[in-house]
Amino acid sequence: MSEFHRFVVDGIIDPAVTLAAFAEQVGLSENEAEEFDRRFFDTPDGRLHADQSTLEVRNSVEFPLMCSLVWLKGGQVLASARVESGFSPDFAGSLPAGPAFDRLRELVEMRRFLPVATVRSRLSTGGHLDAEEKTTARVHIDLPSLPDGRSLPALIEVRAVRGYEAETAGLLRAMRAHEAFEPSDLSTADFARAMVGASPYLPGKLSLQLDDRASADEVWRVVLRELHEAMTANFRGTVEDVDSEYLHDFRVAVRRTRSVLQEGRGVLTPAARDHFRDGFKWLGDITTPTRDADVHLLDYPNMIAALSPEYAEALAPLHELLLSRQRSCQAQLALDLRSTRRAQLGAEWAEFLSGEGPWMDRSSGESGDAAEADRRARDVAAERIERAHSRLVRDGRTIDGSSEPEALHDLRKDAKRLRYLLECFGSLFPAEDLSVAVKPLKSLQDVLGEFQDTEVQAHALAQFGRQLDTEGASTDTILAMGGAIEQLSVRQSRARREFAARFESFDSREVEHAYASITGTGTTKSKKRKKKNR
């Protein structure tokens, strides 16, 4: 991507006048300005914003039927296509075909596009030319306003054409010296969102920065509050089924909460811990059928791609069945999430988290546990991580080619437990150790996940096949489903084969050192046991 600079045009003079004078001063070639109504779209978690790109449906004001979908980054059109007037993208599948939009599809994955801002812009594009009249820099000028007429900051953007950065330096010097120009990272869409008070994008990852001197009581509270926020942020989108990722992120927040509660022995009172563990287990369980249905649908394109085209076509009844199942599971989930039980759990949890006093009653008979709550969180978390790591290593080493699938499924649970601990409490430890610890764990989890998911899907497909058979599906459909199950079996076998290498990477000396550094357990029993095992 070429060098890109954006400036806000400030000052008391009309920005259009300032920009016209500047264009003349530095000799910009300028195309005639055109007015467009622009509707910007992004995913709920702001993937385009994070990518510093924008997606917009752009309608010419003068020719309302001239409508384009434009994906822009750094002043460069990455993809554009004519679309019907009134078009709004929803999922990646609604984007026009072609390699440029394929890259956008990869970026947004399964997320839905939501409208994030609407503006009317007076746009003009100019160029800074050399003696050969070759464009050495592209200059875009945007005079935007909101639909209610309120003005947004005027922007001037400069993109040096690749290989002509030196030729653009003079232009940029002139811009930096201009008293009305202020460098800005914000795009027109960002300004419009800020002006209308739009909600922030959903956070993609946990952004916990924990105090490593704080007590376990304080840190557990911070982590559980953060997870509660993630649950709350994804609740409405889950109920309304905006896209499958809301439910996914909601479930992750629930599972992490359960895990933090599980690891909170001695930090929370046993009564509260047990009560909420039960509550969140129930909450997790009611989301499982819909998530399974989502996974079937998300994996459907892979399933089709692995089959020959005629079989792929024959699977259409299965797709219908999957859609229908997803709809009914989702309807039940929405009811459950709106139920009194869920509301009560939510209210109790919010009240519990909002309390400022200590969770453990120091005066009760639980004094041993209370001491745990007062210890440094870093020490408590390190012990939990050490235990989870040792268990994963111990159980993983017992697995060989003859192990039952259940052994791998159990190992997946061990791996998840360790991963959640690292995700939730990782910021208490050195980032470099954490990076070495997480990467091979993630890789191991991927292969364990593939192993289990393919098995679960194969079982489900067999069940769907029987259902479709009784409903009178064609022989081709049943054969195609057999083919799909076969493909899942191939994938599962591949995952099984890959397990040994992934586990070996995880069980390496380098990774062991990273865990030892995190947990400070260079001479623990576990360490000695590991040495003995080698």
Nearer Cβ to another protein (104/418): 104
Answer yes or no: are the C-beta atoms of 22 and 9 closer than 8 Å.
no
Answer yes or no: are the C-beta atoms of 405 and 451 closer than 8 Å.
yes
- CA angle 512-513-517, nearest 5°? 120
Q: Shortest gap between Cβ of 2 and another protein (angstroms)?
A: 6
Q: In 20-73, at which residue ranges do the beta strands (DSSP E only) sit?
A: 29-30, 34-42, 53-60, 67-73
If binding is defined by CB under 8 A, does position 309 make contact with another protein? no
Nearer Cβ to another protein (2/262): 2
Binder among 127, 284, 449, 520 for another protein (CB under 8 A) = 127
If binding is defined by CB under 8 A, does position 23 make contact with another protein? no
Q: Shortest gap between Cβ of 92 and another protein (angstroms)?
A: 15
CA 532 vs. chain centroid, Å, equals 41
Distances (CA, A) of 476 to 256, 309, 322, 394, 479: 43, 12, 18, 47, 5
Nearer Cβ to another protein (77/335): 77
Binder among 82, 105, 134, 236 for another protein (CB under 8 A) = 134
If binding is defined by CB under 8 A, does position 93 make contact with another protein? no
Nearer Cβ to another protein (101/276): 101
If binding is defined by CB under 8 A, does position 2 make contact with another protein? yes
518, containing H or E segment: helix 509-519
If binding is defined by CB under 8 A, does position 163 make contact with another protein? yes
What CA–CA distance (Å, rounded) separates 292 from 491? 18
Q: Strand, coil or helix: what is 118? A: strand
Helices (H), 200-315: 216-240, 244-262, 270-305, 309-314
Which residues ranging from 440 to 499 are in contact with another protein (CB under 8 A)?
Answer: none
If binding is defined by CB under 8 A, does position 532 make contact with another protein? no
Nearer Cβ to another protein (51/395): 51
Q: Shortest gap between Cβ of 125 and another protein (angstroms)?
A: 11
* Residue that is written with structure tokens 């993609």 in the block: 204
Q: Could you tell me the two tokens for 489?
A: 């079996």
Q: Could you tell me the two tokens for 196?
A: 């209308």
Residues that bind another protein (rule: CB under 8 A) add up to a total of: 20
Q: Shortest gap between Cβ of 73 and another protein (angstroms)?
A: 11
- The piece of 71-79, 235-243, 376-384, 406-414 that touches another protein (CB under 8 A) is 71-79
Binder among 60, 94, 118, 135 for another protein (CB under 8 A) = 135
If binding is defined by CB under 8 A, does position 98 make contact with another protein? yes
Q: Could you tell me the two tokens for 363?
A: 């005066």
Nearer Cβ to another protein (99/309): 99
Which residues ranging from 73 to 92 are in contact with another protein (CB under 8 A)?
Answer: 76-81
What CA–CA distance (Å, rounded) separates 141 from 152? 13
What CA–CA distance (Å, rounded) separates 314 from 38? 41
- Contact residues toward another protein (CB under 8 A) are 2, 76-81, 98-101, 127, 132-135, 161-164
